[in-house]
Amino acid sequence: MKATGVARSGETTPLARRDLAAVTLDGETVIHTHGRVHLLDPVASLVWRLCDGRASVDEITRDLAAAFDVPDPTVREDVVAAVEQLAALGLMAGPPPDRAGAVERSGRLLADPPGSCPSCAERPWVHRAAFRIGNRTVTVGTNSRRADEVLRAALARHLVPMPDQGLMMPPFFALDVHDHPAAVGSQPLHLLTRGADLVARSRRPSRVVRALVAHLATYGDLGPLGLGAVSGLVAGRDGQAIIVEPPGDRFRFGHVAARAGFAVADMPVALVDAGRGEVLVGAPGLDVDATAIDALDEESSERDPVEPLPWGRYRIAALALAPPVSAAAALLALGPVVGDHRDHERAVDALLALVDSVPVADRDDLDALAAGFADRAR
């Protein structure tokens, strides 16, 4: 309801919202709505109670004037002002705001609390797209028209009209892709960020876009796929994988792992199929046109010093933890993280199954793990 001017017509029959929590004490009314508490003075309290959708502003005025024995014109000004103020506070019934339901139609918007995404908020991401992932909507911002087009093509089946709110909020993921690689010398790094965190980087644009798609998939509906999202990195070699307790610096760990012959997946979590004893690297549940993504790379695109573990399924050979190492400690080391938007119960189920079926090893002794892999491979 547009407040100003409406109540000035004496024939208007205002209707106060009756679905709000309200208590009246000594003539004053306290109302709670949408996280705010309003205190109405005695006049506003009376007006709010008399606005039943049948009585007109003129009738309410006459009733109050008679009750308080004051002239109509004096009371009318108070009634009009009160109705307009009540409407402005959202305490009167009216049509829903124009944008109401926009987000609801496209699923829950995946968002961090306001202010928690400084790097995204500060950048002028000119291209934005929203994707339906499971029952959620995720917005992605990028500085690259090409990356935006590729992403829209690669995830065409998941693309949704941008919810209004999405335009105002920082994107959940941001792609920093350089459309014009340097002609000579080292090519620029392309970056994938989530909030203030750098989650993937590469000199090949396709790699960060693949990483984005894999990250998006982990927020999907993994239950029907038999997957639980365990908090660990996936490091693999020889067709097998270990799930590693997240280190302080995943990029440094990638280099350490590479020295022992392991490649680390560009995934935020380990998607565990506990029934089959496997971990899945990729974008399960998403309909992805990977060819479109790979077309992003130029012939001149450099390979990274440490390449990621390719998408696929891997048998889980071990869990690798920082010391102290024990099966029970793995529950804590690889447990889900508060506020990560994923299905925690399914993750705990997957972990409980894993700790009973897979050996637990020392993360700092990757060479021993690698030797075990080689033995099994032979």
How far apart (Å, rounded) are the C-alpha atoms in residues 163 and 129? 10
**Residue 248 in contact with other proteins, rule: CB under 8 A:** yes
Give the nearer residue to other proteins in terms of CB position, either 32 or 376: 32
Q: Which of 311, 127, 117, 302 is nearest to 201 (CA)?
A: 302
How far CA 147 is from CA of 207, 213, 292, 299, 327, in Å, comes to: 11, 12, 10, 17, 43
Residues present in the chain in total: 378
How far apart (Å, rounded) are the C-alpha atoms in residues 267 and 214? 6
Q: Which of 349, 350, 263 is nearest to 314 (CA)?
A: 263
Name, in order, each residue with C-beta under 8 angstroms of 35's C-beta and a sequence gap of 6 or more: none
Give the nearer residue to other proteins in terms of CB position, either 112 or 238: 112
Least distance between other proteins and beta carbon 185 (Å): 34
The one among 76, 80, 336, 361 contacting other proteins by CB under 8 A = 336
**Residue 89 in contact with other proteins, rule: CB under 8 A:** no
The one among 16, 333, 360, 369 contacting other proteins by CB under 8 A = 333
Q: What angle do CA 209, 214, 216 make, to 5 degrees?
A: 95
* Residue numbers 1-30 binding other proteins by CB under 8 A: 20-30
**Residue 183 in contact with other proteins, rule: CB under 8 A:** no
DSSP 99-114: TTTHHHHT-EEP-PPT
Among the listed ranges 257-265, 268-276, 312-320, 327-335, the one in contact with other proteins (CB under 8 A) is: 327-335
Q: Tell me how many residues contact other proteins (CB under 8 A).
A: 46
Residue 200: strand, helix, or coil: strand
The one among 329, 341, 359, 365 contacting other proteins by CB under 8 A = 329
Least distance between other proteins and beta carbon 128 (Å): 30
Q: Which of 249, 269, 246, 277 is nearest to 355 (CA)?
A: 277
**Residue 256 in contact with other proteins, rule: CB under 8 A:** no
**Residue 335 in contact with other proteins, rule: CB under 8 A:** yes
Among the listed ranges 95-103, 105-113, 199-207, 317-325, the one in contact with other proteins (CB under 8 A) is: 317-325
Give the nearer residue to other proteins in terms of CB position, either 247 or 312: 247
Give the nearer residue to other proteins in terms of CB position, either 10 or 335: 335
How far apart (Å, rounded) are the C-alpha atoms in residues 233 and 244? 5
Alpha-carbon torsion (344, 346, 348, 354), positive or negative = negative
Least distance between other proteins and beta carbon 326 (Å): 7
On whether the CB atoms of residues 335 and 348 are closer than 8 A, the answer is yes
* Residue numbers 354-373 binding other proteins by CB under 8 A: 355
Give the nearer residue to other proteins in terms of CB position, either 210 or 346: 346
* Residue numbers 28-67 binding other proteins by CB under 8 A: 28-30, 32-35, 37-39
**Residue 234 in contact with other proteins, rule: CB under 8 A:** no
Contact residues: other proteins, CB under 8 A: 20-30, 32-35, 37-39, 231, 245-248, 321-324, 326-329, 331-333, 335-338, 344-345, 347-349, 351-352, 355
